[in-house]
Chain A
Amino acid sequence: MAANKRIMKELAEINNNPLQGCTIKLAKEDDLNNWDVTMDGPPESPYAGGKFNIQIVLPKEYPFKPPVLTFKTKIYHPNVTNDDKGAMCLGMLRADEWKPPNKIVDVLKLVRAVLAAPQPDDAVEAGIANEFKTDRKAFDKTAQDWVKKYAK
C-alpha cells in the first residue's frame, strides 16, 4: 500500500508538473505499475521529430527494486537493444545501482539525456556504438531513417 501511495504521488507529481516532451499515462487505468510514456525525440539530435513509445514496468517491490524500461518503438541507438524487446541500458536502472530515492521522473530525464547524447562506451549494441564513434554522419543518417520509418 505504501508503495502504491508513492507511485500515486509520483504520477500526480508528474502530471501536475510534466516533463518536457513527455506524456505519461497508465497502460491500464487500474494498474499503477504499468506506465506508458511517449517521448519526443530531443531536438538537436538525430531523433528529433520522432515519437518514441516507452513502457515502464514498476516491480512490486518498487521503490526498492528498479523499474524496467523498454522501448516499444524501434530506435537506432547504441544503448537500446535492437530487438523486439528494446531494453535500455541505463546505469541507474541496474539492480545494484538503483537507489530507492530515485524517482521515475529522474529516470525519464536520464533517458532523454541519453537520447540526446548516446554513450557508446556503455553500449549494448556494439555495432551501432562503433559506427557512432567512427562514422557519425552515417549513424545520424540511419538514425533519422529509422525515425522516419518507425517513430512517426
Chain B
Amino acid sequence: MEESHYLNCKSRAQNYNPPVDLRLLDYVSIYDNNLMCAICRCPFVDPVVLSECDHVFCRDCIRQSWNSNTSYTPLGPRGDCPTCRTPAKLGPRSATSKILVNLVDELVVHCPKRDDGCKAEVRRCEVQDHVNIYCGYTVIECTDDDCTLPVRRKDAAQGCLHFGVSCLSCHKELQKWKLEAHWRSECADRRVHCDMCKSSVFYRDLEAHRKEACPAMSVSCPGKALGCTSRSKRGHAELHAKSCTFAKLAPVLLKQQERLDEQEAAQKEMSRKLEVLEGGFQNMQGILYPPGVETSQRSADNSLTPSLQERLFGSGTAESTTPTGTAAGYDWTESAVDEDAVSPAETMHTAFSSATSPRQRAAPLPPGPRPADLPEPFSSDFDIASPTGFPPPATNGGPYASPLHHLLSMHESLRDEMTRVSSALSELDGRHSMQILNENLRTREEISYLAAQTAGLQRQVHWLTSSALQRQQGRSPTPGASSSGAGGAMMDAGAGAGVEAAVGAVSTAATALRGAARMVNVGGNGSGSGTGTGMRRGTSEEGRTKL
C-alpha cells in the first residue's frame, strides 16, 4: 500500500524532500580515515581515482577543485592532484575499485530526519530510498483530494490535518499537522531536561534555571570580587562558602563599599555646594570691601599677586583694582579713613579685630596678610557703635564667627526694620484716606441741604415778586390812563428795580453758599463742622436780611 502511495505522489514528494546530501549525514559506524576525501573530509561520495597518482577524491570535490583554479580544457577535466600536485585527469569509472565503493556504501548513517524524531539507522546507499519511501517524518502531499499542503507521511493516514488548532501549553495558533513538531522543538511551555542536572523544567525557564537554580552549574565563590578564585557546583557552593574567608567577608565589605559610594556622592554634592557658597562669599566681599581699600593696601602688601587679588575680589572689582585706581576709589578711601578717625567705634573695632583676627590669619579671603597698623577694612564701611537702636546682633557682637556674619545679621535686621516701617506707613496712609472720605461725605450732605434751602428761598422770592407785580398792575389801571403816565412808569421802574435787587441778593447768597462749600471741600475736616454750620447760619441770615 505504501508503495502505491509512493508511486502516486513521488514527483511532488521530491519537491518537498530534496535529495539527501550524503556529506551532511551523521555516521553511526566508525569509518577509517582512508575512506575520507581529503577535500570534504567525509567518506567518499562517488569516489574517483586520478589517472596518474591514484589519489581518490569525491567526484564533486575534484571537479570543484579543478573548476575553481583551472580554465576549461577541451580534453575533459584535468589538473594537478590536490594532494601531490601531479598533473592528472579523472580516471575512468572502472578504475574505481568496487571494494572502495562497497565499503563506503556499507557505512550506517542516521536518517537525516533524526532531528524530527526518526530513529532509523540505515546503510548509506539506502538512505535516499528510506527518505523517499519509508521515513514517517518525510513530508508528502496531503492525502485529501482537495488539499495540496504538505503533511508528514506517518500522519497522512489520519486524513487532512490542515486545520487550525491552538497549542494546549502556550496557546499559539497553528495547524494540526505541525503540532507535534511544535511540541518537540518550538513550544515555550514544553518540558525539557536540563542537560546539567537532569531535572525537568519548562523550556522558557531553561535559561533562568541554568543561570540561577541548576545545582549542577558551576558558580564562582561569592567572594570572587575579593579575590577568591574557586568555582564549585551550586550544590557545593554553600559548603565552600562556609570555609571561605572571602565569602564570609563579602557581604560586609560589599555593604561597606556601598556606604563608601554613598558617602562619596554626598561629599561631591557638598563640595559643589561649598563652591557655590564660596563664589557667593567672594562676590559679597567684592561688594563689601570695594577696590579702594585694595589700592591703598596694595603698597603695603606686595606679596599678593594681582592675579590672586583679582581672583579673590571678583571680576566686578577687577577693573578698579588696577594699580592706578579710579578717583572714586581714592575718594572713598579718604572718606572711609576720615570716618574711621572720627567714629566713636574705635573700641568696637579693636574688639572686633581681636575677635576675628585668628580667623583672618587662617583664611586668606579677607584681603590677605595685612600689617596690623592698617585700619580694619570692614570697620570703615559700617559704623557699628552708633546704631545702638539696632536689634541684638549689633550690640552683642560676641557669638559671631566673623565680622561678615555680624554685618550680614545687621543687614538682615535692618531689612526687617525697613519692612516694618513700610507696613506701618501704608497702614497709616489707609487710615488717613478713610477719614478724609468720611468727612467729605458729611460736607457733601450739608451742601445739598443748603442747596435745597436756597431753592426754597428762590421760590419764595419769585412768588413775592410776582405778587408785587400783580398788585402794581391791578393798581395802575384804576387811577386811569389820564393820571400821570409818567408816574406809573416811574412806579413800574421802581418796582422792577426792587425785584431785580431781590433776585440779585438771592443769587449772591447762592454764590456765597457755593464759596462756602468750596471752602469746606478744600479746608477739609480739621476746621471741623462747627465753622461750616456757623457759616451756613450766617449766610441764611444774610439772605434773610437782604430779603
Binding site for B on A (CB under 8 A): 1-3, 5-6, 9-10, 61, 63-65, 95-96, 99-101
Contacts and interface: CB of A to CB of B under 8 A. Distances in A.
Nearest to A63: B39
A63 B83 CA distance: 13
A137 to B, nearest CB: 40
Nearest to A3: B40
26 contacts: A1-B21, A1-B23, A2-B24, A2-B60, A3-B40, A5-B23, A6-B39, A6-B40, A10-B41, A61-B68, A63-B40, A64-B64, A64-B68, A65-B68, A95-B69, A99-B82, A99-B83, A99-B85, A100-B39, A100-B61, A100-B65, A100-B82, A101-B38, A101-B39, A101-B82, A101-B83
B206 to A, nearest CB: 17
B41 A6 contact: yes
Interface string B52-65: 00000000110011
A64 B23 contact: no
B24 A5 contact: yes
A101 B83 CA distance: 6
B85 A9 contact: no
A103 to B, nearest CB: 8
B516 interface: no
A95 to B, nearest CB: 7
Nearest to B68: A64
B42 interface: yes
A2 B40 contact: yes
B55 to A, nearest CB: 9
Contacts of B83: 99, 101
Given A5-B40, A9-B42, A95-B69, 7 more contacts: A2-B42, A5-B41, A63-B40, A96-B69, A100-B82, A101-B39, A101-B82
Contact of B23 (A2, A10, A99): A2
B21 A100 contact: no
A64 B65 contact: yes
A13 to B, nearest CB: 9
Interface in B511-528: none
A3 B68 CA distance: 14
Nearest to A65: B68
B42 to A, nearest CB: 7
B23 A100 contact: no
Contacts of B24: 1-2, 5
Contacts of B38: 100-101
Contacts of B42: 2, 5-6, 9
B59 to A, nearest CB: 13
A109 to B, nearest CB: 17
A4 B511 CA distance: 126
A1 B82 CA distance: 21
Contacts of A3: 40
A6 B82 CA distance: 16
Interface in B63-93: 64-65, 68-69, 82-83, 85
A134 B68 CA distance: 42
B30 to A, nearest CB: 14
A116 to B, nearest CB: 26
A95 B41 CA distance: 20
Contacts of A61: 68
Contacts of A95: 69
Interface in B356-387: none
Contacts of B82: 99-101
A6 B42 CA distance: 8
A3 B41 CA distance: 9
A100 B55 CA distance: 13
A5 B40 CA distance: 8
Contacts of B65: 64, 100
A95 B83 CA distance: 15
A101 B56 CA distance: 12
